[in-house]
Amino acid sequence: MTTTANAAALALGDDALVLSHRLGEWAGHAPVLEEEVALANIALDLLGQARVLLSLVGDEDELAYLREERAFRNLQLVEQENGDFAHTIARQLYFSVYQRLLYSRLAVGDTEFAGLAAKAVKEVAYHQDHAEHWTMRLGDGTAESHERMQRACDALWRFTGEMFQPVEGVDIDWQALQSGWLETVTTVLERATLTVPGGPRSGGWSAGAGRQGLHTESFGRMLAEMQHLHRSHPGASW
Amino acid sequence: MTAVTADTYEAVFDAAVAADERIEPRDWMPDAYRATLVRQMAQHAHSEIIGMQPEANWITRAPSLRRKAILMAKVQDEAGHGLYLYSAAETLGTGRDELLDKLHAGRQRYSSIFNYPTLTWADVGAIGWLVDGAAITNQVPLCRCSYGPYARAMVRICKEESFHQRQGYELLLTLSRGTPAQHEMAQDAVDRWWWPSLMMFGPPDDESSHSAQSMAWKIKRHSNDELRQRFVDICVPQAEALGLTLPDPDLRWNEERGHHDFGAIDWAEFQDVLKGNGPCNDQRLTQRREAHEEGAWVRDAAAAYATKHRTEQHAKPGEATA
């Protein structure tokens, strides 16, 4: 793997790893049993992708458990706390649409990621379907669910611009990815009777912040929990 | 046409059970048989759902990505088992919502084992090896249970449970052969989970109120004490292979019986946990209730959406946005 390919694998691997972890926090707390199954299923798919991608770079466990916050390259979007179910679904919608478009492009190329992307895109199509269905149910459900879904879409909107900052080693048309994403998300939100958020699509840090290792505050606590046991037993195997 | 009396129905039912035929949802069955099955299957389903909690407690702290994936898959399977079992129970004329309400109100039970806390990572292995092991010992005979839907659910569930059990054993083996701190963690977990696992087989035969009738109906095939003995006999050599000890000074092979003798179970503790006074009873039920209550608006939204769109011929979301 070249240095740039490593950087790309790390960025995409960290996205999947971190979002998988967040979804894992839902276990035992989902609103309905079918969602216990669905959320765990998506978390597992993402964890599988993360393991393949991180293994391209080095030892998956060293990379997951022994890097500190500033060395993680995931999007700030995926590290956002779960919040209520609408918040989790909005995060899933934004990310799965992005991931599906990105992996569809990677799957047809001849990069190191083509094989992985071809497999992952099938999983991600399911994730997107799940997120779209729930966006519609919540957006076009009751007054309360509509309000919650709108609030969640609004709150996460500012983390979506970062997705289209080019990742070193991923040679695709990022502009086209962005317009494809906007088009899909707009269609889904409108069908769900929701308003496409109007605010800026970048957070307090400059646009590619997570990709540069600049994260939001809750991420450090997430890593503390995730890494604690592994770090308490240096050199042990599990 | 001969008059069909209740006695005739009962005789047909008894003959089917005697011939080891399966009773199916549309068949006549005694009210008490139905009630016993609903109680047992609901309790079984609830145990799968509550049983997710002690293990989910470690998902975010699993020490390797491989173990994390295994644990997530296992907890997902448990939710799936809960769903099968609620469906099987629904064939008896009850509903999942009704059963969940009873669980939340404390009117139906779940297995007492899940009222114990998972304090270290090794507990995940001990649960796999001992708790799932005990569950399998109990459940394999249920694959031949007289009620068809329950028996068929158990066939699927037992396959997955056996897989979980092997994974739990392998987790403990890795710890036992790991660093001294890991070995100690594994031993401590086995020390804490051994006796509660033996309690999973229920009260001793002479105090088990439902056993005789359940055996006559072929819902149960073996007594609590028989299954418990079988489990002990299986675990002793496995513990040796693990390099771990079982916390029972009275445990020894009895040549004459061809079984292991073992020490007395603390039935007072068992009764206490059943009454709701175990270490995690409140916590488990509270978390379950909260998940349900906090999810109410989501279920309402799904229902409202379904009502609005019932008559529409709507395209699949993926098609609309492809």
CB contact under 8 A, B318 and A236: no
* Cα distance between residue A162 and residue A181, in whole Å: 13
CB within 8 Å: A31 and B291: yes
B295 contacts A85? CB cut-off 8 A: yes
What is the per-residue pLDDT for A25?
Answer: 98
DSSP 8-state secondary structure symbol assigned to residue B261: E
The reported pLDDT for the residue numbered B304 is 98
Name A40's Cβ contacts closer than 8 Å, sequence gap at least 6. A23, A24, A26, A27, B72, B73, B75, B76, B79
The residues that bridge with B254 in the sheet, in sequence order, are B259
Q: Is the pLDDT of residue A4 over 90?
A: no
Question: Nearest-CA distance from A60 to chain B in Å?
Answer: 7
Contact B302 A141 (CB under 8 A): yes
What's the CA gap between A121 and A100, in Å, rounded?
Answer: 6
Residue B212: predicted pLDDT? 87
Identify whether the C-beta of residue B77 lies closer than 8 Å to the C-beta of residue B164: yes
pLDDT one-digit tens code per residue, A90-113: 999 999 999 999 999 999 978 888
Question: pTM value?
Answer: 0.95
Q: C-alpha angle with apex A180: A196 to B305, nearest 5 degrees? A: 45
Residues in chain B with pLDDT values less than 50: 1, 320-322
pLDDT in tens, A126-145: 999 999 999 999 999 999 99
As a whole number of angstroms, the distance between CA B297 and CA A134 comes to 13
CA B61 to chain CA mean position, Å:
24
Q: Are A159 and A76 in contact (CB under 8 A)?
A: yes
> What letter represents residue B26's amino acid?
R
B53: chain A residues, CB-CB within 8 Å: 28
Tell me if A32 and B317 make a contact (CB, 8 A cut-off): no
Query: Nearest residue on chain B to A136, judged by CA atoms?
Result: B305
Angle at A160 (CA atoms; ends A123, A94), nearest 5 degrees: 30
Stretch among A6-15, A203-212, B40-49, B102-111 having the lowest mean pLDDT:
A203-212
Secondary structure class of A222 (helix, strand, coil)? helix
Q: B63: which chain A residues are within 8 Å (Cβ-Cβ)?
A: 65, 229-230, 233, 236, 238
DSSP B22: P
Nearest CA in chain A to B314: A191
- What letter would DSSP give residue A195? P
Per-residue confidence (pLDDT) for residue B316, from 0 to 100 = 55
Contact at CB, B79 and A129, closer than 8 angstroms: no
ipTM of the complex: 0.97
* Closest chain B C-alpha to A202 CA, distance in angstroms: 25
Residues of chain B contacting residue A62, judged by C-beta atoms under 8 Å apart: none
Q: Do residue B61 and residue A228 have CB atoms under 8 angstroms apart?
A: yes
pLDDT on residue B144: 95
